[in-house]
Structure 1
Amino acid sequence: MLIDIVLLITAYLVGSISTAVVVCKMMGLPDPRQQGSGNPGATNVLRMSGKKPAALTLAGDFLKGTLPVVLAAVAGRSPETMALCGLAAFLGHLYPVFFGFKGGKGVATGLGVLLAWSWLGLLATGATWLIVAFLFRFSSLAALTSFLLAPIYMVLFGAPTALVLGMAAITALTYWRHRSNIRNLLNGTEGKIGTPKS
């Protein structure tokens, strides 16, 4: 039980590291929380500062979702603990203790968690994201579509129930964090991939 608690706290703290803010500060770039959409994530960094900082942000956000779950797996913990560690890392990204509980929308971190839960599920989810993004050029629509299907993919690939439920919770939280994007999509005002935000 003590090990599980330590793992959960560690997962949340790792998730609370805002990669976008750290990368932009180290590279002398504007704070993404004060530019564009105000979201400290890879998409906003791409629009404001270019491909290199966006790629670093994406990699960091992805890994902070994967590593806490892998740590729990190496420690021999149950699928339930692995599910909770993934959720803790994801919540850390959304509500980071180090940055006033104001974080990103969780797409990259959610995918990182998914890698540790079901790599086949990640492949299918990632393929869905790429297809939707290529066809429609909306990052938010790609995220919403792929995360909606992610729990289904996990079921098809035989993931434990606890992990499927964990992914369903991440999907619900992702939709909540993207509620402004959903409004923009419905209103026709959502920015497309590769288009600078005015």
Structure 2
Amino acid sequence: MNPILATALGGAIGYLLGGIPFGLIVGRLAGVGDVRQYGSGKTGFTNSLRTMGVKWAIIVVLGDAAKGALAVVLARLLFDEPGAAALAGAAAVFGHIFPVFAGFRGGRGVATAFGAFLAVSPIVALIVLGASLAILALFRYASLMSVTGVFVGFVVLGIMWAIDSIDGKYFLLFAIPTMFLVEVSHTGNIRRLLAGT
């Protein structure tokens, strides 16, 4: 298959998978309705934790991470083109933030990004997880943990590309757009962190 077509199809698959609104589905199962009516107005782990409690929030975060990983894995299986898997991961994050199945109002993409990182490179995902937990332990800010973790993944994938240990498309089509999407989705939190509030 033509590499450009394969990459485009990988992106489409990733977006549709990313758009599955686990936060909304679990919220309804938990009896709270639309979780976006509470707290931050998002569908991800943090708002689910505040709204539904630990048990339901864990289900949400696992579902959100799984769709990111599945997007990359499925694109790899269907297309012999690294760009397809790379774009599928970024598109899953985009789909989570702007889900077609939920009025384009989703979460901030962190768990989905982690799942995609895990499928792209388990080693990078472990580094991201370790850095994220260290930031959380030191500063106690979930938003700082999120933006730092994705940035670390971006840097590590960039280094891996520089030393020729991973296809450059995973950096160009996955790491760059994923970091951009997650950072932009946290704009309000970043402003508050910089203001010390």
- TM more than 0.5: yes
| 2:102 paired with 1:91 | no
Instruction: Give the CA deviation at 1:188.
Output: 2.9
| 2:146 paired with 1:175 | no
Instruction: Give the CA deviation at 1:155.
Output: 3.5
After superposition, the C-alpha distances for 1:111-153 in whole angstroms (9 at most, x for unaligned) are 1111111111100001011000111111110111111121221
Instruction: Give the CA deviation at 1:70.
Output: 0.3
In structure 2, distance between residues paired with 1:85 and 1:141: 26
In structure 2, distance between residues paired with 1:77 and 1:71: 11
Instruction: Give the CA deviation at 1:10.
Output: 2.4
Structure 1 moving runs of 4+ over 4 Å: 1-6
User: Aligned to 2:41, what secondary structure does the other structure show?
Assistant: coil
In structure 2, distance between residues paired with 1:21 and 1:56: 12
In structure 2, distance between residues paired with 1:173 and 1:127: 21
| 2:153 paired with 1:146 | no
In structure 2, distance between residues paired with 1:73 and 1:125: 22
Instruction: Give the CA deviation at 1:34.
Output: 0.5
| 2:192 paired with 1:159 | no
In structure 2, distance between residues paired with 1:185 and 1:3: 40
Instruction: Give the CA deviation at 1:25.
Output: 0.4
- How many residue pairs get aligned? The number is 189
Q: Is the 8 A contact 1:42 1:58 kept in 2?
A: yes
Q: Is the 8 A contact 1:42 1:57 kept in 2?
A: yes
1:61-140 matches, cutoff 5 A = 61-140=64-143
| 2:16 paired with 1:13 | yes
Letter in 1 for 2:123: L
RMSD over equivalenced CA pairs, Å: 1.6
Q: Is the 8 A contact 2:36 2:43 kept in 1?
A: yes
Q: Is the 8 A contact 1:117 1:159 kept in 2?
A: no
Q: Is the 8 A contact 1:72 1:81 kept in 2?
A: yes
In structure 1, distance between residues paired with 2:100 and 2:60: 18
Q: Is the 8 A contact 1:14 1:92 kept in 2?
A: yes
In structure 2, distance between residues paired with 1:80 and 1:9: 13
- TM, length-normalised to structure 1: 0.89
Instruction: Give the CA deviation at 1:75.
Output: 2.4
Instruction: Give the CA deviation at 1:159.
Output: 2.2
In structure 2, distance between residues paired with 1:182 and 1:11: 27
Instruction: Give the CA deviation at 1:50.
Output: 0.8
The percent identity for this pair of structures is 38
Task: Give the match for residue 187 of structure 1.
Answer: 195
